[in-house]
Amino acid sequence: MQYAFPLLAVLIWAGNTVVNKMAVGVIFPTEIGFYRWLLAGLLFTPFMFKPVIANWSVIRPHVGKIFILGVLGMAFFQSLMYFAATLTSATNMGIILSLMPMMVLSMSIISLGQRLTSGALFGAILSFIGVLVVVSSGSLSGLLTHGLNLGDTMMLVATLAYALYSTLLKKWQLPLPPSQMLYLQVLVAIVVLFPLYVLSPKVGLSVHNIGLVLYACVLASMIAPLVWMKAVAVLGPSRTSLFFNLLPVITALIAAVTLKEHLHTYHLIGGTMTLAGVILSERWTTPLRKSKPAENR
């Protein structure tokens, strides 16, 4: 039963990657990005407004950091995913997104002083090659000639932004309940995305897109983060993070069924290499350089 929490969260997020692709042509990226957080904020407010006001003396010194987290993790990351979905496949998006644990590990080594391990080094190389195989459609020479697909580039930048968000979250360790942190970041996303929403073209909510907005809002923005937090509390962060490795596999399966996306050989090869690299980095924890024993004086 304890494994149901991380599995449910990953299943929802994989489905959300496919929802991003389904939204193409039925609602503009700026619209679904704004509506998603606006609705989440409206649903959260009756439960979270009073606790946040009561805890404001603790929150106020950290407003700047909360704003940065909200921009990176909520506004920028998800909005860029919606734009990326117009130019690349859900399968590609899922495989690129699976690089996130590797990026977080790399940033933790640089900014948090975490020790570099053999698994982290060789896993990073293997995952990087795997993603190159995917984004080049199996032709690395073609990648050198034509460069990256714009959608894949956007997805890489979005993944990098969320990895930075996760690293800062770990580094700052803000003394706030997770539910209040989530609510405040949702409010930041609403404020930041509002000008973009006003200036962008709109089709409005309709029977064709309301289901996508509700999925992104209720399931991906509210239920999945809370279920993931519960998983971390029950299983611990290390064991929980392993379930994130299932994201590209589940995304590819859902995309194949719902979007009729074809799985090519390069998806299987690149996806396997990326997944193997992430698992290698998490399981092979031997320090790259062993510390020298202290000399006897």
State the pLDDT at residue 197. 94
pLDDT exceeds 50 at position 90? yes
Domain limits, the chain = 4-283
* Comparison of pLDDT for 281 and 74, the residue scoring more: 74
Global confidence as pTM: 0.83
State the pLDDT at residue 297. 44
Q: Which alpha helices (DSSP H) does the chain contain, by range?
A: 4-22, 29-54, 56-59, 63-69, 77-85, 90-97, 100-111, 118-135, 140-146, 150-172, 178-199, 210-214, 224-235, 237-242, 247-258, 265-283
**182-236 per-position pLDDT tens digit:** 999 999 999 999 999 999 988 989 999 999 999 999 999 889 888 887 887 787 6
